Amino acid sequence: METLASGGNAVDAAVATLFALTVVEPMMVGVAGGGIMHVRTADGTHRVLDCMSTGPGRARPDDFTLVDVENPLSFEVEGRRNQVGGSAIATPGNLTGWCALHDTYGQLPFADLVAPAIRLARNGFTATHYLAGAIRESEADIAADPVISSILRPGGRSISPGDRLVQPDYAETLSLIAREGANSLHGGPLGDALVERAAKDNGSLSAQDLRTYRSVEREAIFSPYRDCIIAGPPPPASSGVHIPQMLNILETDDLADLGFGSPEALHLIVEAMRLGFADRRRYSGDPDHVDVPVERLISKPYAAELRATINDRATPLAASTVARESSDTTHVTVADRDGTIVTATHTINGLFGARIMVPETGIIPNNYMLNFDPRPGRALSIAPGKRVPTSMAPMIVLKDGAPFAALGLPGGLRIFPSAFQAIINLIDHGMSPQEAVEAPRVWTEGGEVEIEQVYGEEAAAGLRARGHSVRVVPHIGGGMNMIGFGQDGLMTGAACWRADGVVAALGGGLARPGVRFWPGDAPDADEESGADAT
């Protein structure tokens, strides 16, 4: 809000917010992480900026030693080297992406966008239950690294809700970033410090990796569903392909008539997810390494073929994915009065990433190497420069050629199926943005079905009666946020209860041109236009 009030646009506000989130959600996002941003500019152009982390140049398929070679689903390696410490760090992309986005579309000086984050790091902020709980969940690993422990566990005690968290080293790092931009990390002293820390644990990240990293601008995918157009990111993201695919499978069904949460509707949604995940396992990957048949996957005829395989019974299929994806992510959706929209999802992968801190910088690096298959010869095996598929779903829904909704959420493999259900809630069930993000969810990747407990036993029993193996869980995915766009120009924000989330709106604005304050007698009415006088 500070950024918008200062004359910034949605891009400025999104970048400023992401920097601030690196301070207040350090367990989820950082300058040494990765993510995807989906931008719609005021002229209706869509841009997707992929700044996902990549395999370092020295990374090799046999870098890690698998613990359980007999288990095809296991990613556990000796010493947890792909999960904790400098050996888990992949080449980060967030900072380059944020700087590139600002360079192309921003209006305010870059330093202005980093200033709120510097203030939060230097002066501190009050820790939430969400942050404090994440620290407690990770405290064994955090305690093992004296640098990160000194910040998150001062005096040997993990921060509690209501405590003030101050990050002086990170404030100085952000000040350097404000002056030098991405070069401070990608070719500068911050990068040197990150590489040195990775090397302490025999990590493969090099200064050359940081200098040569480039975010990739990709074309958004557009697919019709009923009277709307669904726009999302292409591979390596799953959302732009498999959300339209799952919607297309159900387009011939009257979901509104079946009713939200009915056993019949839930069965269809679960079966559509199963089919979407089956194709995700079969086809998805880094488009530089894998040819993904996007046009076929989002085509209506192919969806009709898939729909014909669904009957009134569950299709028995054990989950066989070897994909590994962290649920620890953050998302922001921003729109301004001129029509620019940004929906962006970012992460350092696991909770607190590699669970170390780069000395004297306050930077918590990613542990993205955990997402690669530690076995050589696989589609997801480690390779230099390689990206792995992501469930991130920064989505924009269009209606009559204009924005209808923009949304996204954290939650790993549960992200794009949750966004899929929110879009159904909006279009088929006519829910408001707040209802759409709050509504209960289901999830499966082909085996067991998760269902949120708020659905109640009747819904779970209905799925079991159709042959599904069902597990009732407290919640699925993370805190979704959304902006809805009315035909009259009114924007409505929504944020759900599954994570820390806030709706903030700024109304009003500057005086119209020609309006002046008259300290004495007011001028005659005809000296100002009626509109200005009003």
- What residue has token string 């100002």? 528
Q: 59: buried, middle or exposed (CB in 10 Å: 19+, 13-18, 0-12)? A: buried
Q: Which two tokens stand for residue 407?
A: 């949304």
Segment (H or E) for 496: none
Cα 487 to Cα 27, 334, 492, distances in angstroms: 38, 18, 12
Interstrand relation of 449-452 and 470-473 (parallel, antiparallel or unpaired): parallel
HEC-encoded secondary structure of 368-385? HHHHCECCCCCCCECCCC
Contacts 24+ apart (CB under 8 A), 456-461: 458/263, 459/261, 459/262, 459/263, 459/266, 461/263
DSSP H/E element including 203: none
Q: Which residues contact residue 141 at a Cβ distance below 8 angstroms, ignoring those fewer than 6 apart?
A: 84, 352, 355
Q: Residue 500 gets which letter from DSSP?
A: -
CA distance 65 to 358: 25
The pair of structure tokens assigned to 11 is 């891009």
Mutual angle of helices 457-465 and 263-283, in 10-degree steps:
60
Q: Centre a 10 Å sphere on the Cβ of residue 453 and count the other Cβ atoms it contains.
A: 13
Neighbours of 512 (CB within 10 A): 12
Q: What is the DSSP letter of 256?
A: H
Catalytic residues: 329
Reading the block at residue 304, the tokens are 């009709």
Distances, alpha carbon 398 to alpha carbons 193, 208, 231, 269, 484, in Å: 44, 41, 8, 22, 10
Q: Are 122 and 171 in contact (CB under 8 A)?
A: yes
Largest CA distance in the chain: 88
- List 484's β-bridge partners, or say none: 405, 492
In sequence order, the 6+-apart residues with CB closer than 8 A to the CB of 173 are 31, 184, 190, 361, 362, 363
Cα gap 344→38, rounded to integer Å: 6
Structure tokens at 12: 């400025």
Nearest Cα to Cα of residue 220 among 233, 206, 204, 207? 233
CA neighbor of 20 nearest in space, from 29, 11, 8: 29
Q: By the 8 A CB rule, do 89 and 198 touch? A: yes
